[in-house]
Amino acid sequence: MNKIITPESMAKLVHRIERSAAVEDSMRNICCFVECRYASIVNQNGKKPMVSIQSGRGLRLQNTIYYLDGRMQLLNSEPETLIRKVYDGIPDWADDRLKAIYHAFYDS
């Protein structure tokens, strides 16, 4: 059975998207390489249980983490995300895509 989107549920969805995409003042000028842990959530039979906790490396740019495998994640949308380590400068594991984003942030 399909869910019907009511005006109330649409308003809640819009509010949730705006809240997760908002950049706070403390996050304005942050650009660094990080190692973090995040919850792996899989949709099973219409429910979204947390399957496991995974770790990954990427570039944190204000409110967003860009991972090495091409994914991106908003920090405000996932409360289970934990930044474990912050690297100074560019580490050796960073690929060309993340380096280009890093240099574009500091060049502007």
Q: Are the CB atoms for 81 and 75 separated by under 8 Å?
A: yes
CA gap 9, 79 in Å, rounded: 21
Q: Are the CB atoms for 64 and 74 separated by under 8 Å?
A: yes
- Tokens, residue 41: 């959530």
CA gap 87, 107 in Å, rounded: 19
* Domain range summary for the chain, segments of one domain joined by +: 7-107
pLDDT in tens, the chain (108 residues): 457 778 888 888 888 888 777 777 777 888 999 999 988 888 888 787 777 888 999 999 988 899 999 998 888 777 778 899 999 999 999 999 999 999 999 887
CA gap 98, 57 in Å, rounded: 11
- Tokens, residue 40: 């792996």
Parallel, antiparallel, or unpaired: how do β-strands 64-67 and 50-61 relate?
A: antiparallel
- Please tell me the pTM assigned to this model: 0.77
